Amino acid sequence: MANQESTEVVPAGRAAASSGTAVERSDAFQNPGLPPHRPRVTDSDPKAAKHAERAIVALFYVSIVGAVFAMAAYFAFPIHADDLASVRLNNLFLGLGLSLALLAIGVGAVHWGKVLMADHEGVDIRHPIRGDQKTRARAVEIIDLANVESGFGRRTLIRNSMIAAIAVLPFPAIFLFRDLAPASGTPAEAYSHTMWKKGSRLTKDPSGVPIKASDVTIGSVFHVIPEGLNDAPDMLEEKAKAAVLLMRLDPADLHPSKGRESWAYDGIVAYSKICTHVGCPVALYEQQTHHLLCPCHQSQFDITREAEVIFGPAKRPLPQLPISVDSQGYLVAQSDFHEPVGPSFWERRGDYNV
Amino acid sequence: MIRTRRAAAAGPVRTRKRGRRSPLASVALVAVGLLLTGGAYTLFTASSGASAAIDLNSAQAISQGKKLFQANCATCHGLALQGTVAGPSLIGVGAAAVDFQVGTGRMPLAQDAPQAQDKPPVFDDTQTKELAAYVASVAPGPGLPSSKYLQLSGNATRGAELFRINCAMCHNVAGAGGALTEGKYAPNLNGVTPAHIYEAMLTGPQNMPVFNDANISPQDKADIITALKATQQNANVGGFDLGSLGPVAEGLFLWIFGLGAIVAFTVWLTAKAN
């Protein structure tokens, strides 16, 4: 019966296709129909049925054991306020007991259904999605009646003003997004400048202790924040832009381009720690190869060649912070970065170097 | 009557067993071998951490160290520590660098590789200190750390913050180590002695940068070591840490065991009972 219905549907579909495009395949897949019904062992062998029954009962008893174990574990492994590690045992055994209880009920119920409940095989054919003519006509009738009674099609002024009200409603949300940008200036402005300015000392992260040039021995790496960052009102935002990595190389290893010769001090160079790809902190410095590795996407920068990208998805070199020393021997910035730090953004100008 | 029958039944079984080894025997043998090797290795590395009381300035230690150096190190580092094409100059590296490189087994180098790996040390603690005494006598350099910074009595909170800022990007936030470029890696810090951690910060072995006392003061270093050991010794509240490697190890575990269980249950649910 079911098979007959399904074979009727197929020719109907074929007839719908254009005769010009329909290709009759000679090796088309034939519906094999249902496999023959196979009786289960538990249907024919009463011993097997008895065995299955015992297994299902055992599973439900296992579930009871799990639940009781969970209750016992709650008291056997209490959480002590002064010992965080006690949470681990408590959670572990409570979870094991409860999952055993739930799992055993589920497995038992499914096993029961599979081996002991009646074994009828049936096929439910999907009914067509399209309703019959009578149902469709009745639906149109209802919509027409609603239109007439509500006056939705007749009172066009009311209808159009309502559509306009709904259309305008989302606009405040767009304006609320403005709160994500800095309060003063455009976001592009905020991205383009950092806390560094002429004369601000390079200090150690997190203590804020200024760094003497003589303290930076060859092979050293200092994680640097600008002077006064710890007291800044928006400290984290500023740190996310102004973080700098300070390294000292043999001056002979550096290859500064024209106009940037004075940006380093006796082999000490400072580069932005914010990756130009998507802004991860780049600080995996190898002191023999002078390569900087970004841990997020494996971009590599060559410090001897002004942090040019030698591998990975980053497109621009890390911006260099021009540095010198003040009269007391402390390292200071000559200016802010000459280009925006970090990843690209729409309004980013490429000519900050000028 | 019953006893004799049982003996007769057991007889042939026993002779057959004598002729053929159980398939589990070889597995058990390998397991025992692995356990013994691992145990011996643990004992060996643990014993190397003990510090011997040797006066680095004594003439005897220096002359002993010179002999050891000439026999074992001079081929690559030169008879006058000046370095050769095969190895860098050791002038001014100090006793701390020697104690770290030789004490962790990184030197002498076993093979040409992207970086020297830690392995069971070739020299015992006395010989290591004698080598350090000799190298330090040729030119001054960073000395061995004072034991007061190695007592794990620092401020772990402060040390953890310094570790996250200065060390965690390479060595992983739990000190589990991580990959660098071209086969190099930052090693796992679990099980490294406090003295070796201190010396590594001070001297910057291989591609690790130098963190001198002006950058991270001796007390800061003691704090970092305290924090590291506290991380490693405290029980993990979250359960299995899967090597503390983060989302890679955790994801792999879930993909294999979590999804595996779901697939297995789905297959079972849809299979017909026979």
Q: Which residue of A has its CA nearest to B214?
A: A215
Mind listing the pLDDT tens digit for each residue in B158-209? 999 999 999 999 999 989 998 898 889 999 999 899 999 999 999 999 999 9
Question: Would you place residue B47 in the very low, low, confident or very high pLDDT band (cuts 50, 70, 90)?
Answer: very low
Same domain for A73 and A141, yes or no, is yes
* Selected residue of B162, B180, B233, B257 to mutate for chain A interface (largest A Cβ count, 10 A): B180
Same domain for A230 and A305, yes or no, is yes
Same domain for B186 and B231, yes or no, is yes
- Residue A6: per-residue pLDDT: 43
Please give, rounded to a whole number of angstroms, the shortest distance from the CA of B210 to a CA of chain A.
Answer: 4
Whether residue B127 is contained in a domain is answered as: yes
**Residue A199's domain is classified under what CATH number?**
2.102.10.10
Asked if B209 is an interface residue toward chain A (Cβ–Cβ < 8 A), one would say yes
| Nearest CB to A222 within list B170, B215, B268 | B215
Among the ranges given (A5-19, A280-294, B65-79, B238-252), the one the predictor scored with the smallest mean pLDDT:
A5-19
| Nearest CB to B235 within list A40, A85, A247 | A85
Question: Would you place residue A13 in the very low, low, confident or very high pLDDT band (cuts 50, 70, 90)?
Answer: very low
Instruction: Give the whole-angstrom CA distance, residue B13 versus residue B151.
Output: 62
- Asked if the Cβ–Cβ distance from A88 to B238 is below 8 Å, we say yes
Same domain for A169 and A193, yes or no, is no
Chain B partners within 8 Å of A281 (Cβ): 169
| Nearest CB to A285 within list B209, B268, B269 | B209
Please give, rounded to a whole number of angstroms, the shortest distance from the CA of B170 to a CA of chain A.
Answer: 6
Same domain for B136 and B223, yes or no, is no
Same domain for B212 and B248, yes or no, is yes
- Asked if the Cβ–Cβ distance from B210 to A222 is below 8 Å, we say no
Q: Which domain holds residue A50?
A: 41-120+134-178
Among the ranges given (A217-221, B13-17, B80-84), the one the predictor scored with the smallest mean pLDDT:
B13-17
Nearest to A247 by CA among A199, A285, A212: A285
Instruction: Give the whole-angstrom CA distance, residue A302 versus residue A315.
Output: 13
pLDDT at B2 over 50: no
pLDDT at A53 over 50: yes
- Residue B42: per-residue pLDDT: 65
Whether residue B25 is contained in a domain is answered as: no
**Contacts of A65 by beta carbon, 8 Å cutoff, 6+ apart:** A100, A101
Whether residue B267 is contained in a domain is answered as: no
Mean of pLDDT over chain B: 85
Q: Which residue of B has its CA nearest to A291?
A: B181
Please give, rounded to a whole number of angstroms, the shortest distance from the CA of A157 to a CA of chain B.
Answer: 57
Angle A266-A268-A273 (CA atoms, 0-180°, nearest 5)? 160
Given B90, B124, B144, which residue is the final one in a domain? B144
| Nearest CB to A215 within list B208, B215, B236 | B215
**Contacts of A39 by beta carbon, 8 Å cutoff, 6+ apart:** A119
- Residue A351: per-residue pLDDT: 54
Whether residue B24 is contained in a domain is answered as: no
Same domain for B228 and B252, yes or no, is yes
Mind listing the pLDDT tens digit for each residue in B215-240? 999 999 999 999 999 988 887 777 78
Whether residue A60 is contained in a domain is answered as: yes
* Selected residue of A51, A282, A286 to mutate for chain B interface (largest B Cβ count, 10 A): A286
Question: Would you place residue B53 in the very low, low, confident or very high pLDDT band (cuts 50, 70, 90)?
Answer: low
- Residue B30: per-residue pLDDT: 82
pLDDT at A219 over 80: yes
- Residue B25: per-residue pLDDT: 79
Q: What is the average pLDDT across A141-168?
A: 95
Q: Which domain holds residue B121?
A: 56-144
Same domain for B135 and B76, yes or no, is yes
Given B89, B110, B144, which residue is the final one in a domain? B144
Same domain for A88 and A198, yes or no, is no
- Residue A187: per-residue pLDDT: 79
Asked if B234 is an interface residue toward chain A (Cβ–Cβ < 8 A), one would say yes
Same domain for A303 and A284, yes or no, is yes
| Contact present, B113 and B66 (Cβ < 8 Å) | no
* Cross-strand bridge partners of residue A331: A325
Whether residue B152 is contained in a domain is answered as: yes
- Residue A151: per-residue pLDDT: 92
pTM for the full model?
Answer: 0.73
Q: What is the average pLDDT across A118-141?
A: 89
Question: Would you place residue A350 in the very low, low, confident or very high pLDDT band (cuts 50, 70, 90)?
Answer: low
pLDDT at A114 over 80: yes
Structural domains counted in chain B: 2
| Nearest CB to B169 within list A115, A222, A281 | A281
Same domain for B160 and B88, yes or no, is no
Whether residue A343 is contained in a domain is answered as: no
Chain B partners within 8 Å of A220 (Cβ): 204, 209-212, 215
- Residue A188: per-residue pLDDT: 82
Same domain for A315 and A243, yes or no, is yes
Same domain for B137 and B151, yes or no, is no
Among the ranges given (A133-137, A187-191, A213-217, B258-262), the one the predictor scored with the smallest mean pLDDT:
A187-191
pLDDT at A14 over 50: no
Mean of pLDDT over chain A: 88
Whether residue B12 is contained in a domain is answered as: no
ipTM here: 0.74
**Residue B128's domain is classified under what CATH number?**
1.10.760.10
Given B144, B164, B181, which residue is the final one in a domain? B144
Mind listing the pLDDT tens digit for each residue in B131-148? 999 999 998 889 999 999
Residue A237 backbone class (left: φ over 0; alpha: ψ -120 to 50; beta: rest): alpha
Chain A partners within 8 Å of B266 (Cβ): none
Asked if B22 is an interface residue toward chain A (Cβ–Cβ < 8 A), one would say no
Instruction: Give the whole-angstrom CA distance, residue B219 versus residue B158.
Output: 10
Structural domains counted in chain A: 2
- Residue A178: per-residue pLDDT: 76
Asked if B208 is an interface residue toward chain A (Cβ–Cβ < 8 A), one would say yes
Q: Rounded to an integer, what is the distance from CA A109 to the centroid of its chain?
A: 38
Same domain for A209 and A300, yes or no, is yes
Whether residue B42 is contained in a domain is answered as: no
Same domain for B166 and B254, yes or no, is yes
Whether residue B272 is contained in a domain is answered as: no
- Asked if the Cβ–Cβ distance from B212 to A217 is below 8 Å, we say yes
**Residue B175's domain is classified under what CATH number?**
1.10.760
Question: Would you place residue A19 in the very low, low, confident or very high pLDDT band (cuts 50, 70, 90)?
Answer: low
Please give, rounded to a whole number of angstroms, the shortest distance from the CA of B214 to a CA of chain A.
Answer: 6
Same domain for B90 and B160, yes or no, is no
- Residue A50: per-residue pLDDT: 94
Same domain for A109 and A210, yes or no, is no
pLDDT at A11 over 60: no
Percent of chain B with pLDDT over 90: 54
Chain B partners within 8 Å of A212 (Cβ): 214
Q: What is the average pLDDT across A246-261?
A: 92
